[in-house]
Amino acid sequence: MIRAGACAAAEIAENRMSQSENAAPAPAKRAPAQPPAPLALSINDKPYYHEGDPQMPLLWFLRDTLRLTGTKYGCGVGACGACTVLVDGKATRSCMLPMQAAAGHSVTTIEGLETDALHPVQQAWIEEDVAQCGYCQAGQILAAVDLLKRRPKPGEDDISAITNLCRCGTYPRIRKAILRAAALAQGQGK
Ligand code: FES
Ligand code: FES
């Protein structure tokens, strides 16, 4: 009995050893995830860095981080144009532009449009008394700035191609203001 018990114990010990030899190796320890590199961009001629989610829309960075609240949130899906800013001079829906895509570019918001004097588009907007509630107007003005850069003497079709929406229906005054701004810009050589 004693011999049989000793044999069984030896067999169990051998089985355990062979099981531990066959066991899967412990997973290698992973290095902790590195935070994404900061994204650099220029806004109204000043450098800024974003260290958060690279997919966050530029609109949130402007409004929530920098408190540049002239740029408005309307639809959030690229349809209304309330969030329009200039990216390298081109009218862009900032609700649709991830920070990753904005990095390395130059952004102008309504707060940065005026430099030493009102931009001709701002001046024309005042002279034509365009705004009603005002919510869409920053986007409308920046869309007009982009248009006049591309078409210094815009026709009706050019103006109609602007897709920014205005719930107050200020479209007739927007048209007149764009034409006035074109005249002002030519007179001012801008
Ligand atoms: S909020 Fe960006 S297009 Fe409407
Ligand atoms: S002025 Fe009110 S939405 Fe355009």
The single-letter code of the amino acid at 32 is P
188 and 155 share one domain: yes
Mean pLDDT over the full length of the chain: 89
Q: Which domain holds residue 55?
A: 36-112
Contact assessment for residue 91 and residue 149, using Cβ atoms and an 8 Å cutoff: no
| 138 located within any domain | yes
120 and 184 share one domain: yes
Q: What is the average pLDDT across 48-66?
A: 97
Task: Please say if the pLDDT value at position 9 is more than 80.
Answer: no
Tally of domains in the chain = 2
74 lines ligand 1 (CB under 6 A): yes
Q: What is the CATH number of the domain that holds 46?
A: 3.10.20.30
Burial class (CB in 10 A: 0-12, 13-18, 19+), 162: buried
Extract the tokens encoding 140. 């409308």
97 and 127 share one domain: no
* 100 CA → ligand 1 middle, Å: 18
Assign 39 to helix, strand or coil. strand
- Helical pair 137-150 and 171-188, crossing angle rounded to 10 deg: 50
83 lines ligand 1 (CB under 6 A): yes
101-113 pLDDT, tens digit per residue, is 999 999 999 999 9
148-167 pLDDT, tens digit per residue, is 999 999 999 999 999 999 99
Task: Please say if the pLDDT value at position 8 is more than 60.
Answer: no
Q: What is the CATH number of the domain that holds 174?
A: 1.10.150.120
Ligand 2 pocket: which of 130, 132, 141 to mutate (most atoms within 8 A of CB): 132
Extract the tokens encoding 169. 């229906």
Q: What is the pLDDT of residue 90?
A: 98
Contact assessment for residue 121 and residue 53, using Cβ atoms and an 8 Å cutoff: no
79 lines ligand 1 (CB under 6 A): yes
Q: What is the average pLDDT across 79-90?
A: 98
Reported as a pLDDT band with limits 50, 70 and 90, residue 63 is very high
135 lines ligand 2 (CB under 6 A): yes
